[in-house]
């Protein structure tokens, strides 16, 4: 029953990957097209804009992925218990997914605008709800690479944290409550129960979150493009190489670099997760 879906998805994946690889490895030389050629990759290694985008993308992923994991853990632990209004609280936490990413990005663009954005007005004490004056001059959030990427990361984490919450919540609900009750009967405190029972059993769910969210972080386009357009990541640099540089071959070369990074980081996360689970079980 899965064969049609596998053929459909796998077929398109193979077609796209082959086409991208052919373009990335083709170089228009003086005597014609050279294939295969690493010229585009060599050119990218000497391009300061590519190196800066690579550094920003690594920073964006290495910081944003753990933040999403922690946010998912906190939200999952908040709603895992039985309390009045739990369904309503869960629905509220899932609301970010109902808002299109581009809408969220545009709202953040307006909120963090310069000089008259709502955040600047709030920090200058222009609103009665927060009359404290924390800054005297507006902050140009999108004029700084650090602030612009922080705003983009905030939007990305806020919109996608319900996915992390749902995965970890499923892992928490799959834990056998009898194990926890037995540990309490033997005198284990909350910290020991978390470290010895809950955390080892949550490693598969946490590794799933890290793999899925790191992939999304590596290839994120909408939030960096709208909120940090002057400071491109690799995904936005692909668009720039295709439209501004008018060089589809280099765009495909950047895409292949991004693919290698995604595959490498996925392998590292899975390896570390397996080692962590063995260490927690043996500890």
CATH of the domain at 93: 1.10.3720.10
Is 82 a domain residue? Answer: yes
Is 93 a domain residue? Answer: yes
pLDDT the model gives residue 79: 86
pLDDT the model gives residue 52: 93
**Structural domains of the chain, count:** 1
Output phi, psi for 32, to 5 deg. 125, -170
Residue 14 has pLDDT above 70, yes or no: yes
| CA pair distance 41, 252, nearest whole angstrom | 10
Beta strands in the chain (DSSP E): 27-29, 32-34
pLDDT the model gives residue 283: 62
Mean predicted confidence (pLDDT) in 203-212: 90
59 lies in which domain range?
54-99+157-257
What average pLDDT does the structure give for the chain? 87
Is 94 a domain residue? Answer: yes
User: CA distances (Å), 11 to each of 16, 17, 18, 25, in order?
Assistant: 9, 10, 11, 21
The mean-pLDDT minimum among 88-102, 173-187, 201-215, 224-238 falls in: 173-187
Q: Confidence band (pLDDT; 50, 70, 90) for 282?
A: low
Percent share of the chain, pLDDT over 70? 99
């Amino acid at each position: 029953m899965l064969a049609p879906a596998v053929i459909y998805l796998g077929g398109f994946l193979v077609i796209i990957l082959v086409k991208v690889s052919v373009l990335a490895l083709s170089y228009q030389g003086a005597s014609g097209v050279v294939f295969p050629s690493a010229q585009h990759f060599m050119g990218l290694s000497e391009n300061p804009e590519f190196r800066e985008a690579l550094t920003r993308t690594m920073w964006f992923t290495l910081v944003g992925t753990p933040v999403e994991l922690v946010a998912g853990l906190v939200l999952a632990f908040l709603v895992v218990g039985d309390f009045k209004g739990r369904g309503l609280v869960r629905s509220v936490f899932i609301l970010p997914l109902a808002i299109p990413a581009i809408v969220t990005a545009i709202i953040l663009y307006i909120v963090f605008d310069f000089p008259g954005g709502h955040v600047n007005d709030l920090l200058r004490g222009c609103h009665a709800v927060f009359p404290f004056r924390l800054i005297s001059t507006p902050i140009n959030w999108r004029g700084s690479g650090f602030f612009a990427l922080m705003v983009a990361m905030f939007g990305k984490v806020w919109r996608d944290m319900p996915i992390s919450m749902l995965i970890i919540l499923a892992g928490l609900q799959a834990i056998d409550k009898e194990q926890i009750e037995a540990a309490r009967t033997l005198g284990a405190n909350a910290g020991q129960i978390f470290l010895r029972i809950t955390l080892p059993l949550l490693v598969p769910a946490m590794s799933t979150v890290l793999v899925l969210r790191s992939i999304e972080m590596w290839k994120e386009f909408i939030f960096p493009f709208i909120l940090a357009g002057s400071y491109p990541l690799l995904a936005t640099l692909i668009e720039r190489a295709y439209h501004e540089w008018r060089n589809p071959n280099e765009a495909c070369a950047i895409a292949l670099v991004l693919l290698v990074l995604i595959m490498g980081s996925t392998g590292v996360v899975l390896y570390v997760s397996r080692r962590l689970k063995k260490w927690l079980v043996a500890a």
